Amino acid sequence: MARMFITGSADGLGRATAQALLSDGHEVIVHARSTERLAAVQDLIGRGASAVVGDLADLDQTRAVAEQVNELGRVDAVIHNAGVLSGPQVMPVNIVAPYLLTAVINRPQRLIYLSSDMHHGGRADVAGLDWSGRRATGSYSDSKLFVTTLALAVAGPNQSEENPLGEGGERVHDWVVPLAAWRQSHGEQGGEVNECTRIFEESVENVGAGVMGRNMFGPVRGGAWGDEQWTGWWGDNPPYHYPVFILTHYPRDPVEMEGGTTFRFVTDGIESALEQVREAAGGKTSCFGAAATSLSSTWQRDCWTSLSSTLFQCCSATVLASSTTSGTPRCSLTRSGPSRRPASRTSSTEW
Q: Which residues are known to be catalytic?
A: 140, 144
Which amino acid belongs to residue 196? C
Q: Which of 186, 302, 179, 284 is closest to 242 using CA atoms? A: 284
255-256 β-sheet, strand order: 255-256, 262-266, 243-247, 207-213, 285-289
Alpha-carbon distance of 257 to 237, in angstroms, equals: 6
- The β-bridge partners of 111 are 78
SS3 at position 213: strand
Are 203 and 335 spatial neighbours (Cβ–Cβ below 8 Å)? Answer: yes
Are 208 and 281 spatial neighbours (Cβ–Cβ below 8 Å)? Answer: yes
Q: Which of 137, 20, 29 is closest to 86 using CA atoms? A: 137
Handedness of CA 323, 324, 327, 331 (dihedral sign): negative
Strand 255-256 to 262-266 pairing:
antiparallel
